Amino acid sequence: MDPTSLQRLVFLTSLLSCSTNQARLTVTPSSSQVFKYKPVSLRCEDASDGWTVRRNTSIDNRAECGVGWGRPARSSCTISYCDPLDSGVYWCESTEGSTSNTITITVSAVFLQSPVLPVIEGDDVTLICRTKMADPPSADFYKDGVSIRTESDGHMTLLHVNRSDEGLYKCSIQNEGESPESRLSVSEKPPTTTMDPSTSSSSSSSTMNAPTTLSSLHLVFRLLRHLVVFCPYCICTYIVVSLYRERARGNDSVSMTMTPPTHAEQRLDVDYDDVMSAVTTEHQF
């Protein structure tokens, strides 16, 4: 093979492998903001071997998990105790240089727990303002720098979100501080397919008739099976009976059929009778 063609084939193969094995970065807990000294786990979903987690922070650039930060395990990475210095941009990267989506993580004493990935239009979304305290305190919520409302339990629920709810959200707690901003993204709801009533009725009727059809096929199959099993016996029995009857009929014909006497035999019989009469007469004299 020509060297140039071989290089093109290798290049196309690498492109196909990259497109079919594209990874997706997920974070647990599902929040772009992490509480200080709390653990966080990052994982490359749908990834083949060779994918690792990398990050850009204020202290490092394209740093791989396990090299100065985090504990790697195959295609995942765990930070046991998050520090504000761990705030930065995280992503998955393969050995060939392919990259996944990016997630910005912020570590602080007060943070807003919000969905990392885009939410579906029409869903309900709850934002939680968290601190070190076990019970969520009263918190003020902001969108794009404008105060929305105050929630006594630190929970704010957005009902039936749409595109207008997209933006930068944050919260603040008195005597604790303010959380970093977190972006909420809303994806368009996928279209639902409507089924034609006539199609639906025909589908339901076909579904109802399906058991009957299956039962009929089962009975036909059983009948054919019995015929295949018993037909040889019936044929053999018929042949034996027919042979026996033909043989018996042949014996009866032989025994019952009498050949009529010929003219010579009749003449011999007459002569025999005359001789016997003569002998009897002579004896009497």
Condensed to tens digits (0 to 9), the pLDDT of residues 132-142 reads 776 667 999 99
Fold of 109-189: Immunoglobulin-like (2.60.40)
Sheet with 52-57, edge to edge strand ranges: 33-35, 99-108, 88-93, 52-57, 63-64
Mean pLDDT of 178-203: 74
Task: Between 200 and 94, name the one with better pLDDT.
Answer: 94
The residue ranges of every structural domain in the chain are 21-108, 109-189
Mean pLDDT of 73-92: 93
Identify the pLDDT of residue 202: 53
The two domains 21-108 and 109-189 share their CATH topology (first three levels equal): yes
Is it true that domain 21-108 has CATH number 2.60.40.10? Answer: yes
What's the rounded Cα separation, in Å, for the pair 139 and 40? 24
Per-residue pLDDT at 123 exceeds 80: yes
Cβ atoms within 10 Å of 35's Cβ, excluding its own: 19
Alpha helices in the chain (DSSP H): 3-20, 197-256, 263-284
Identify the pLDDT of residue 275: 44
pLDDT tens for each residue of 219-272: 766 777 666 666 676 677 778 777 777 777 765 554 544 555 555 555 655 555
Q: Which residues contact 84 (CB under 8 A, 6 or more apart)?
A: 36, 107, 108
Percent of the chain with pLDDT over 70: 66
